Structure formats: structure tokens, C-alpha cells
Amino acid sequence: MTTRDLRDRTTDFGAEPDENGLIRCDACPVLCRIKPGRTGACDRYANDNGQLVRCAPVTLSINNTTAGQLAKSATPDPADSRHPDTTETAIATAPSTDDLTPETVFVTGIGSGTTYPDYKPAPFIVSASHHGVDTVTVVTEGIFSYCGARVKIDTDRHLGAECATVFADGQAVGHVTTAEYGSQMLSLGGVHHLTGGSKKEGRVTCETLLALCNREAVDLTIDNGARITVQAGQAPIVNGVPESRMRVGCGSATVGIFAQQWHGLVDEVIVVDDHITGVLSEHQAGKCLNMPEAGVKVAGAKSTPGRYFKVANPGQGWGGTDISEPLSIIRTVDPSKAWAGLRLLMTSTTGEDVAYYVLDEQLQPVEQSVPPELQLTIDRIGENCEPSLATVIFTAGAGGSLRAGVTENPVRLTQAVARGDVTITMGGAPVYVMPGGGITVMADVLAMPLQSFGYVPTPALVAPLEFTLSQSLYLDNGGHRDHIVSVDEVIRQLGPHSRLESWLPSNPWPFDTGVSRGTIRSS
């Protein structure tokens, strides 16, 4: 096998130019005919002097960490605020070809190439030995028509109603889905938007997913809702304002957390929240502290003592409501319970909105400046808020025809994955495999190397995918025996031509994951 042989695997074993020098790329259904010196429609393949080449090299993930040290990574990622560039347990130094050993190299699908039609073996089927187990890693770039992004946006602010359409560049690309605790959620992409609408809708959906998954900022608008800018690992921008704080909890939880700190400093606290507004003296937390009921009644529907739903409408104001004037949610002040001089604190769930009142002789709230000792508790709320971030989770179905590139008997792969006998990674990053039929995976794009994703204009996303299992299991399940190549050979032939990426210490090392879970076993 020559050096050219292995590199040809990224270009589907080579293709010959026709009499005009055009070369046909058959790495996807588009089947571009590429002129000399030009790239195909996806910019991933080019005609280089009559040779079809993959424009990006294969990415090798290098485990060159040193345990037990504390130092800066040589390749910090400034766009990745969730993966700090220091760690107390492991560091990664800038990888070099000196680091290329069978024990430290994991061949990722990034740059490996796509295969079409699907019965062709995956570009790389790499054998290696780990912890005494002979393993095989099937390495490919999958073409995903069934894929999307779950985008988690840490904010209380109302971005749009559930099921409201999300637009990018004027095209529908997804919808608002059920909120999570302290976060609004978008479901973007999916086969419906990629293939079921107009050509432009499919193209824009693909572009939006590609940008998000490659950690770029994307502008979105929500039907009857907000304008937002989201970027994986960065603070979301809502209607032009960057978010900074993720709420400490719902209104009721905030009351529960800070009740003791407020006790003695104030007679009533109302934590305004679009979902569950908390009223301290009525709440169980206040009862446990023997606080007398203050008689300040809020609007909305009472759920349980001191917990109120729907005190206002959803919006961009206090606690994700539409109010900017907190007293607007106070319905009555009960003269049989309230008293002149009663100290009332109103705050949002992040502590960003605060007002302090003292009831006068007519039991009317009169705003005053927040006393310093009370301000400390507000500061504490802010201290307990995590930074607001946008998170992008790539979700895709890998259970289709792509499996034929792994084994001649695809259902055996699905069954092995379901049993936990196969470790799936994307660019070396861990994935969550959804239970049930098929192989539906979810991956945090921040755990993957930069620029892991590509596209084809069918339209569909291209993403790296690696299946690691024991060699015996692979062969028993109809694996492509004749296409197995050793990791030593990959290093020898591809090493100098590869993109070397330090393995992220926050990820489980792909082989350790399988071995420690017992999923890579001898049969």
C-alpha cells in the first residue's frame, strides 16, 4: 500500500478525469463534475491537477495530556468559555508528529470523507490494541438529512410562545420548544425544514445548522417574539442586549434559598417570576422562620402557599414577565395583616431588577433605597447566578444507510450499539445515544474540534462519526475485513498530512470510555 493509497480513501479510492479534465466526485448524491483547479458544490472536494482531493485533511485527535499538572493549554480556544484552558487534572500541549503513537492517536471522522452509495466501506477502518483488547474504529463523515440542533438559551426572558416559528434570513428553520429550568429552548433544523419546504428554506436551514454547529454566531427571529443572536458557548443576545445572568432558580426556589438571609432584614419578599412567583411570608420557608403573614397579595393564580402562577404576561421585563413596574402585580394589601412600616423587597430571579418599599400609614408602598445590609443579599443572588450561555446540541440519526459502510449486515450494528457494545464518538467527542430503535445521537458541539461540520447541497449536514468496538465483534457482525488498516499504518501514511488536534481533557478518551464501560470487549 503506497502513501497515496491511504490518502485516496478520503476521496473514495480515486476518480479519473474525463477528456476535458473534469473529474466526477461521487462522495455524495450530487455527483459534481469538477473542473481543474475548482472545488465541488460543497467546497469539500477539489480537482487538483486531475486528482480528486479532500480539501481538509483528516483530523487526528492526540491524547498528549500530562496528568496531575496545572498549566495553560497550548491551544486554548477563546470561543469556548465552557472549557477553560487550565485544569487541575490534565493538560494538553500543542500536538506534533512526535506525539503520533498507536496509544495516543484517535482517528476522527473530520476530513475522512463521505462514501456514496452507502454499501461502500467507510473511508477508514482502523485497528488498534487498547488495554489488551484488539479494537476497530470505523471512521467516516456521515451525511445527515435527519439532523438538527437543540439550542439551549440561558435566559428568563420570553423569546416566543411554544411552537412559535423561528426564522433565519426570512426562512422558517425551527420552532420554540418547551422551556427548561432557567433556559429557553429552540428546536432547529430537522428533515421537515431541510427537505419539506422550498429550496430556499432547505438551503437556509442547512446554512443555519452549519454555522451553529461550527460555533459561529447566528441571528434568529421568533414569530411574535424576540430577535436573538446565538453562538455556542457565548452569551445569548436578546433584542440587542447580551444576557449575563442565568437565574438562581424560580421565584419559589429563590425564596427557599434566601429566606434565612432575608429574615430580620425585611418583612416580605416577592420574587417575580413568569412561572412561579414566590411570596416569602406565605411560603413554607417563611412559615418555618415564624414570619407573620404580611398581607401583601399578588395577582395571578395561587398554586400552593406563597407560590403564584401567571402574575403577569410573559415578556422581557422582571423575571421573564412583561412588567417593568413591580407594584403592578400587587392586587391588595390586607389591612388586617399588614402594618405601617412594613418593609417589602421585590426582586427578579436574577437580582438584576430590585425595588424596596416601606408601607406608610395608609399602607401604601413608598419606594426607598435598598438598605446596605439588604443589598448584600441581592448581591448574593447575583453571585449565585451562573453566566448565561447558548448551548448547541447536534442531534442526528445515524441509523440509516450509513451503517452499511460499517458492516454488511447493518442491523447487527444497531443491535450492538443498543447493547452498549459499541462506543460512538463524533470527532472524538462523546455522544448520547437515545434509547429505542435506530442510532440517534446527540453531541455538544463545544466538545468537538473546531470546524467539525460540513454540508452537501442536497441539502444535508456532514458530520464526523466514529464507531469503536472489539475487532472480533466487528468481524462477527459482518465488518469489512479487507478494509481494516492498522493505526500504525495510518500514522505512517497520514500523520504528516493530517490536522493534529489535542484531545480535550474534559472529554473521556474514546478508548478509555469503551474499555472502562466494558463495551469494547473481545466478543
Residue 134 burial (C-beta neighbours within 10 Å; 0-12, 13-18, 19+): middle
Residue 27 binding ligand SF4, by CB under 6 A: yes
Q: How far is the CB of 54 from ligand SF4 (least distance, A)?
A: 9
What is the per-residue binding string for ligand SF4 in 44-63, x denoting contact by CB under 6 A? xx------------------
Q: Which residue is nearest to ligand SF4 (CB)?
A: 40
340 residue type, one letter: A
Stretch that binds ligand SF4, among 27-35, 63-71, 128-136, 242-250 (CB under 6 A): 27-35
**Is residue 210 near ligand SF4 by the rule CB under 6 A?**
no
Largest alpha-carbon pair distance within the chain?
A: 97
CB-count exposure of residue 506 (10 Å: 0-12, 13-18, 19+) = middle
What span, in angstroms and rounded, lies between the C-alpha atoms of 248 and 44?
44
User: Which member of 6, 15, 23, 28 binds ligand SF4 (CB under 6 A)?
Assistant: 28
Minimum CB distance to ligand SF4, residue 46 (Å): 8
Q: Which stretch binds ligand SF4 (CB under 6 A): 2-10, 41-49, 120-128, 373-381?
A: 41-49
| Phi, then psi, of 95 in degrees rounded to 5 | -75, 150
Considering the complex, what minimum distance in angstroms separates the CB of residue 199 from ligand SF4? 15
**Which of positions 133-172 make contact with ligand SF4 (CB under 6 A)?**
none
Binding span for ligand SF4 by CB under 6 A among 26-34, 102-110, 191-199, 369-377: 26-34
Please identify, using beta-carbon distances, which residue of 42 and 153 lies nearer to ligand SF4. Answer: 42
Among 13, 14, 22, 30, binds ligand SF4 (CB under 6 A): 30
Which positions from 420 to 459 touch ligand SF4 by CB under 6 A, shown as an x/- string?
A: ------------------------------------xx--
Q: 25 vs 323, which CB is nearer to ligand SF4?
A: 25
Give the binding range for ligand SF4 (CB under 6 A) out of 15-23, 38-46, 194-202, 474-482. Answer: 38-46
What is the full DSSP assignment across 339-378? -TT-EEEEEETTSSSEEEEEE-TTS-EEEEPPPHHHHHHH
Cβ atoms of 363 and 122 within 8 Å: the answer is: no
Q: How far apart are CA 380 and CA 378, in angstroms?
A: 5
Judged by CB under 6 A, the stretch of 28-36, 308-316, 355-363, 487-495 that binds ligand SF4 is 28-36
The site string for ligand SF4 over 455-494 (x = CB under 6 A, - otherwise) reads: -xx-------------------------------------
Asked whether the beta carbons of 200 and 457 are under 8 A apart, the reply is no
Reading the block at residue 407, the C-alpha cell is 458492516
Per-residue CA distances from 102 to 32, 128, 329, 448, 452 (Å): 36, 7, 65, 21, 23
**Binder of ligand SF4 out of 15, 23, 42, 237 (CB under 6 A):** 42
Measured CA to CA, the distance from residue 373 to residue 376 in angstroms comes to 5
For ligand SF4, which stretch binds (CB under 6 A), given 14-22, 37-45, 228-236, 396-404? 37-45
The correct pick among 1, 21, 31, 70 for binding ligand SF4 (CB under 6 A) is 31
Cell numbers at 286, concatenated: 417563611
| Half-sphere exposure for 488 (CA within 13 Å, toward CB) | 1
Tell me the C-alpha distance between 277 and 312, whole Å. Answer: 10
What is the Cα–Cα distance from 430 to 451, expressed in whole angstroms?
A: 17
Residues that bind ligand SF4 (CB under 6 A): 25, 27-28, 30-32, 40-42, 44-45, 456-457
